[in-house]
A and B are shown apart, each in its own frame.
Chain A
Amino acid sequence: MIAARASAPFGTGWWRPNATHPAVHTVRIELRLAIRDRARYLSHLEMVDLLLAALRRADYGVALSNGMRPRPVISLALARGVGVASEDERCTVELVGESHDLDELVVRLAATCPRGVVPLEALPAGPKTIVTGATYRIVFDAPGDSLAQAVEAYCAATELLVPRRSPKQRRNVDVCRYAPEPRLEGDAIVVDIAIYEDGSAKPEEVVRALQSCADGDLCVAGITRLAVRTAPKPVRVGATETT
């Protein structure tokens, strides 16, 4: 079990001039959850707040960050689009305490999570990682041959530009670069989407690209994230150049 020292929780008066800084043992844990049913409509921030409250209800203390405005140390590995279900939601959280029974954590958390949020397992968090990609299953309300035709046309294309609008800019995303090979699996299309340093494609953008490749209408019935792929976070050594 990994133990670390963190700042004291609120209420200990740490920010006051004569405050002391008591040591608090914490444990970094990686939670894996499934987000199903109506819970998939919760936003990223709502999910973080929901998990914090669920942990408090389960009687676990979440460690706080250092600095002027301490915040609970919790993060979700990969933001999930509103409406996308997930079978692999990863949450890293720092819990107060020297050690925790991880099986018990899952049981207690399952009892306090709201409908649709299902804790699957808890693991000791390893060294920090970066997310390199994710796999999604997209279910359509369309006949199988239409899907096969759309997948074939998609894979044959060298470039598929989908417009992306953000409050600050509009640009076209080439989804082929990030999701080159969607495949048909039963009545659904499964697609691996890579995440590079310069960005990625959203599953909804892959859907739009597939729709543009299809001869007929492809109505989406649901998107589920099946897996998240990670890699060790590269260690960067900064060189100082002097002249």
Chain B
Amino acid sequence: MEQSILQQQIERLLTVVEKPSRYIGGETNETVKPAATVRIALAYPDAYEIGISNQALQILYGLINDRTDAAAERVYCPWPDMADAMRREGIPLFTLETWRPVREADLFGITLQAELTYSNVLELIDLAGIPIRAIDRTDADPIVMAGGPSASNPMPLAAFVDVFFMGEAEEGLSRVVAILDEVKDRQERLDRLAELPFLYLPARGERPVERAIFADFSIDAAPTKPVVPYASAIFSRASVEVMRGCTRGCRFCHAGTWYRPVRERPVEDVVKAGLAQLGCTGYDELSLTSLATSDWSGVARAIKEIKAEKPDLHLSLPSNRVDTGPVALLAAANSRQRSITLAPEAATQRMRDIICKTITDEMIEQAIESAFAAGYTSLKLYFMIGLPLETFAEIQGIVDLGFRAREIGRATLGEKAKFTVHISASNFVPKPHTPFQWDGMAPPDQLRVKQDYLRRALKGRQLKLSLHDVRTSMLEGAIGRGDAITGDALEAAWRAGARFDAWTEHHKEDVWRDAFSAAGRDLVVEATRERDPLDPLPWDHVRSGVSKEFLLDEWWQSRAERPTGDCRWDGCSDCGACVGPVRNRLVEA
């Protein structure tokens, strides 16, 4: 299809679809490189407003476009109204920057951030006019590559993806781009890519594949000019990743294993990068991101230095721990910030020992008191329900802690003060490469009973409760630890109309149930089934760096209700992540 005709057709669609700004591109800091020899379409398999806020994609976009030979262009999953209209009019999936078809790219890279976006992965491939199954692709098709944390179990998508990138792409991606530049034949490209240790090509069999680790973690790889989204994005703020990895060892946490070891960025680099980003984006908010920013050695100094430069700046610190969070949050507090999130994850000491969350009741109460005293008027406490070995005492513990937080709020701010204690309880979903990978999810009926109890018990002034949809959690659990047969169910579900499964209004429970049945599986059984530690797991050939023996030891420790110390302060726990130059690297406070 000729380019100008395609552009006219797209423009005609934009007048009839919802939120056309999702498809127009042209945002501040976008890069257009028509003369590049290698074209890479980078896709986020969800709507524009979700995908544009994703930091990983911004990093890759910047890294590729910094090269002279390559151009990265963005693609987000078209909303169902647009996707239907595109199919009706025969318009292929196009990139935002140039409105050129994705199928003309050399590489179609899709980031896998969550299992509930997998149906959208198939939707993207199909809309691009690329055969769904990798085996049906020809020389005219781009190489479909997937990466991101959910790629750590590639098996549910193995039939649809040509190449999986395991781990952190900052260094390895340049080797991939170099191969694409050197070799033009598709098969030859795949042969060359198969030689890289961090790439998994399902068509070449299950060979061991190593997770790539960006040992240097230098600030040079951070995005300097992130694309500024239009108003509809979920996050409109500058963000600098201050630290990668976390060795706290929470046994449910996938990122806690997948991103080991801990690598911190120097304070001066972070401050400089943050101020530069603010200047080129026009944001009035800066986020210092990591898995637990309050654990970053430089947090207090960085806040002080940034506030000295920009006293009115809205500084946000997501993912704060109860034990270290308040110190940082008090330093970051200003008149614009009203809400704070703390994540005790579990409300009783027993459960916190099981999941290896090394905090005490006193620490939680102290953190709540400090938050209210600092002027925060909206306190969000984040918990999980359905954890292994959970009893009803743990659910009651959440209720008790909610009321205790309200009591502390009233004592600190005054009996009739305006404040909210927001309890958020999500459903535990076991993830690959974690000590709880062998555990099953709690049955859906049990989760609903617990949710109902929380709804009844956590009522009252100044209290709010939010719960996660059990149906979508079950699907996440069934896909997350799935295998190749799960992939068949995924394809069947997508063909029957499943897409945007993370969006409650689009989630089709019956479609998924039928698709699993057609593949000879039961969705709920898959999600709730415990795995035998002696049986092989579908993702065993993916080497995260953390040994399976360590994960199994941790699983046993959870049964003994014993937490494990953090290797940053309590000595090495021999998880296997540190090899050669790759090891914990902390900065001086």
Contacts and interface: CB of A to CB of B under 8 A. Distances in A.
Contact of B282 (A43, A53, A83): A53
Given A38-B26, A116-B26, A12 B312 contact: yes
Contacts of B313: 11
B282 A41 contact: no
Interface string B6-48: 0000000011000111011111101000000000000000000
Nearest to B16: A83
Interface stretch (B227-235, B510-518, B526-534): B227-235
A57 B336 contact: no
Nearest to A222: B11
B15 A11 contact: no
A41 B14 contact: yes
Contacts of B28: 53-54, 57, 112-114
Contact of B230 (A10, A49, A55, A57): A49
Given A11-B312, A11-B313, A57-B280, A46 B26 contact: no
The B interface, classified by DSSP as helix, strand, loop or mixed, is loop
Interface stretch (A13-21, A132-140, A184-192): A13-21
Contacts, number: 77
B54 interface: no
B90 interface: no
B232 A46 contact: yes
Looking at A14, A52, A114, the one whose CB has the most chain B CB atoms below 10 A away is A114
A162 interface: no
A46 B282 CA distance: 14
A37 B312 CA distance: 36
B230 A46 contact: yes
Interface string A27-70: 00000000001110111011011101111110000000000000
Contacts of A42: 21, 24, 230
Contact of B25 (A38, A50, A57): A38
Contacts of B279: 57
Given A46-B231, A50-B231, A53-B281, A83 B15 contact: yes
B20 A82 contact: yes
A56 B314 CA distance: 14
Contacts of B382: none
B373 to A, nearest CB: 14
Interface residues of A, number: 32
Nearest to B22: A41
A115 interface: yes
Interface in B422-477: none
B316 to A, nearest CB: 14
Nearest to A44: B231
B214 interface: no
A57 B313 CA distance: 14
Given A9-B312, A41-B20, A41-B21, A16 B335 contact: yes
A12 B312 CA distance: 7
Contact of A83 (B20, B284, B336): B20
B283 interface: yes
B282 A54 contact: yes
Interface string A89-119: 0000000000000000000000011111000
B335 A57 contact: no
B334 interface: yes
B414 interface: no
Contacts of A53: 28, 228, 281-283
Given A38-B25, A83-B14, A83-B20, 11 more contacts: A10-B314, A16-B335, A41-B14, A42-B230, A50-B231, A52-B282, A53-B28, A54-B28, A57-B279, A57-B281, A113-B28
> Lowest 9 A-B CB distances belong to which pairs?
A11-B312, A53-B282, A57-B282, A56-B282, A115-B26, A49-B231, A41-B20, A38-B24, A46-B231
Interface of A: 9-16, 37-39, 41-43, 45-46, 48-50, 52-57, 82-83, 112-116
17 contacts: A11-B312, A15-B335, A16-B335, A39-B24, A41-B20, A42-B230, A45-B231, A48-B231, A49-B231, A50-B230, A50-B231, A54-B28, A56-B284, A83-B14, A112-B28, A114-B27, A115-B26
